[in-house]
Amino acid sequence: MPQIVTNAIVVRRADYRDNDRMLTLFSPTMGRVDALCRGCRRQKSPLLAASELFCTGEYALYQTGERASVVSCAITETYYPLRADYERLSHGMYALELCAAAVQPGQENERLFMLLLRTLAHLCYGENDARRVTAVFLMGLTSLLGFRPQVGRCVRCGAPILTGEDGEDGAVAALAPEWGGLLCARCMAGEGCNLTSAQVRYLHGIMRRGLDSLDEEGECSPELFEALKRLAEQRLYMPIRSSHLLP
């Protein structure tokens, strides 16, 4: 089979033998690709940087049967500044692991690929709170997996969710991960994470504008963030180990 060239990002790595690594690449056109990177752990290897987490570039792969090997890589981004900030690094690793769990071999997903790159760019070079950036990523990931959260109407009774100024200081809805969206004040009955009108409007902004909503007013509370994590992770049907690293 001829050489394959694809844009990709390293979402997982594992040392193998003395100088090799097994890489899990996320390609927008090929989905998840498991590839052997031979000799990359040698000090002067040209593939050393290409075998690190977060490395993004144009990977040349040689495939024989179901096995792929990395031949070369033209690196475009490494997101190196993340390594100087533990909080932002942990959020970046969490996004990588979510994608590694979500993407399947041979499954094209350019929109998720671009969402991941934009999220890492905001974490690496932006000034927005890391939790806010990851919250947008979680909502986008859930939607792209086909489980778009319902935030305009109650998922139980269908009643519109209050988003006006009234009730600003009180709970007007609850985000219930098990239900896949918001429950109105009449249906929530202690379920999920209680939300004020301002928080409901914050979620509406995320759903409308994605990462562009980071410039709008709004705060992602620790309770809301935990609910968004559960919403996404429950759709993947597997534990995300890096979740416990988040501050």
Each residue's pLDDT tens digit, 168-202: 567 899 999 999 999 998 999 888 899 999 899 99
Distance CA 13, CA 28 (A): 18
Are the beta carbons of 41 and 48 closer than 8 angstroms? yes
Are the beta carbons of 30 and 108 closer than 8 angstroms? yes
Are the beta carbons of 197 and 171 closer than 8 angstroms? no
Each residue's pLDDT tens digit, 128-174: 999 999 999 999 999 999 999 999 999 999 999 877 654 456 789 99
**Angle between the 86-102 and 130-144 helix axes, to the nearest 10 degrees?**
10
Residue 128, helix vs strand vs coil: coil
Q: For the chain, which residues make up each domain, given as ranges?
A: 4-77, 147-237
**What pTM was computed for the model?**
0.94
pLDDT of 200: 93
Are the beta carbons of 18 and 12 closer than 8 angstroms? no
Each residue's pLDDT tens digit, 82-119: 999 999 999 999 999 999 999 999 999 999 999 999 99
pLDDT of 2: 76
Kindly state the greatest CA–CA separation across the chain.
64
Are the beta carbons of 110 and 118 closer than 8 angstroms? no
Among 195, 118, 106, residue whose Cα is nearest residue 149 = 195
Each residue's pLDDT tens digit, 192-243: 899 999 899 999 999 999 999 998 888 899 999 999 999 999 999 888 999 9
Residue 165 per-residue DSSP state = S
Bridge partners of 14, per DSSP, are 22
Distance CA 247, CA 238 (A): 21
pLDDT of 155: 95
Is the CA virtual torsion 83, 84, 87, 92 positive or negative?
negative
Q: Tell which CATH architecture fits domain 4-77.
A: Beta Barrel (2.40)
Side chain identity at residue 227, one-letter code: A
